[in-house]
Homo-oligomer: A and B are copies of this chain.
Amino acid sequence: MKKIHLLTPVHAYILAALMTCLLPAHAAINIQVEQWGVFELTLPGPTKGNPFTEVQLSANFTNGVKTLKANGFYDGKGLYKIRFMPDSIGNWAYITHSNRWELTGQQGNFVAVAPSPENHGPVSVAHTFHFSYADGTPFKPIGTTSYTWTHRPDKIEEQTLSTLASSPFNKIRMCVFPQTHGTKGLPPKRFPFAGKPTKPDYSRFNPDFFQHLEKRLSQLQELNIEADLILFHPYDDKHIWGLDNMAPEVEERYLRYIVARLSAYRNVWWSLANEYDFIRTKTEEDWDRLFKIVANSDPYQHLRSIHNGKKIYNHTKPWVTHVSMQNGLAVTSPGSAQLYRDVYNKPIVYDEVEYEGNYASRWAQLSGQELVHRFWAGSVVGTYVGHSEFFVEPGDSDKFVWLGQGGTLKGESPARLKFLRTILEEGPANGIEPTDKWWNPNIGGQRGEYYLIYFGHKTPKNWSFTLPAKGLENGMAFNLDIIDTWGMTITPVEGVFEIERKDRYSFTDTHNRSIPLPQKPAIALRITRVIGSH
């Protein structure tokens, strides 16, 4: 689906109505949708009773090879919708199923055509620890967090989008529900349920709430930004809205509803909760149950995880696709950052590692340097790190910090994260792997081909060309760049380094050259095999 289509999804409503009234089933209707775009079928249906709880609707979509079931949803005003994301090119036919005569048995078809250049499909796990888009393009997350940016005045939400457009970030963690923090004078405009915010009618959703969210998701998609959507969170101080403690059947209905609405958006990831363990009214078994509802109702199996406070969820469970980890300490060094990889054998995303900022709380006092350091410490061992910031102007409230509400970025890290993103995107398609995990944790890459060495807080005077032995052979030749991760410079070292075995564990430059380094912190080396050497 291309830009304009995202904002105004294919209006199959009239066509579908036409189709079912005038045309034989499977007639060759010329509806075209991009691969990984959204096909949307709109059907008029019953308004009596409670359409949210009483009407069941789904459709099976088939291309003759496979069949996927997409659940429909009531969008208000007598209209029911079914959205579908075709994952391959060609003809797709559908038939609806419902417990209402006017919605069941509707048939039609459409053609999925080649995606536009910016559309690489949804992201999934690749090579155990990494990610790629469905078309095989590697996805190297450089994420940020702005919890409730979609609950701000329009002007600020648009400012957030504009900030993101020129930022390094290709993923954003964001909450579905509003938070109470930072809302004084600017209360959230929309709530997910009908009724009053403080006295919701849990049996009826508010379509406007979700339509607004969808608009913002589409805009993120236009910017090629993945939306890591947080489905529950504990930031309802004094529990005035009750969204953190709904009845199990309400939670489950909410999950089925949001998955039905959003799973056809290719840029959606499901994060079951933020700081899940701070929602003390739920047990780990509750989260298992909620995870399974999402997993079982999402036909595309979007990425799924859950973010911890102090207690880590058991990410070895099969419905967790990748690890979403709050732990700033782990990424203070490559050696500790790598440890969770071997526990989970899934991508490790350290998406909360403390924030760049000047707030009174110690979790929001990182310097830009330290945050960028943590990104590099994580990146060099093949894990991923997330950004946010929390800057309070003197005398200001914390109403408009990026972490909570979006707006503009004030920190020094984003420019350096853009620099890092470029380096990672120029790096191995299969991602960075530790090359000698227990002995040289600060060296990552792909053995024999590509190495990043990160010195962190150390400020070495010089470096003798030495690499861990595995994957190397005498006579291989490498180029070397010196990277100033903070200064954002890449300085190629002249000449080529031909290697020979030094001992059981390492190879060195045949000329034993010692390379002078800038004697600053946060220096890295990039070592790339000379094509065709050896």
Contact = CB atoms under 8 A, between A and B. Distances in A.
B362 A505 contact: yes
Interface string A425-445: 000000000000111010000
Interface residues of A, number: 25
A512 to B, nearest CB: 21
Q: Tell me what chain A mostly uses at the interface: helix, strand, loop, or mixed.
A: loop
A186 to B, nearest CB: 27
How many identical subunits does the complex contain?
A: 2
A329 B335 contact: yes
Contacts of A362: 439, 504-505
Interface in A326-347: 327-330, 332-333, 335-336, 339-340, 342-343
Contacts of A316: 314, 316
A437 B438 CA distance: 23
A351 B329 CA distance: 23
A390 to B, nearest CB: 16
A327 B312 contact: no
A513 interface: no
Contact of A437 (B314, B329, B342, B505): B329
A215 interface: no
A339 B342 contact: no
A239 interface: no
A311 interface: yes
Contacts of A342: 310-312
Given A316-B314, A340-B343, A342-B311, A329 B505 contact: no
A305 to B, nearest CB: 15
A439 B354 CA distance: 11
Contacts of A312: 342-343
Interface in A66-115: none
A327 B316 CA distance: 20
A293 to B, nearest CB: 22
Contacts of A504: 360, 362
Contacts of A328: 438
A439 B327 CA distance: 11
A327 B336 CA distance: 11
A441 B336 CA distance: 12
Contacts of A439: 329, 362
Interface string A122-160: 000000000000000000000000000000000000000
Contacts of A332: 335
Contacts of A438: 327-329
A371 to B, nearest CB: 15
A340 to B, nearest CB: 7
A228 B311 CA distance: 30
A436 to B, nearest CB: 10
8 contacts: A311-B342, A329-B339, A329-B438, A332-B335, A333-B333, A333-B335, A335-B336, A360-B504
Interface of A: 310-312, 314, 316, 327-330, 332-333, 335-336, 339-340, 342-343, 360, 362, 437-439, 441, 504-505
Chain A to chain B: the 7 pairs with minimum beta-carbon distance, closest first: A336-B336, A329-B438, A312-B342, A316-B316, A339-B339, A314-B316, A329-B335
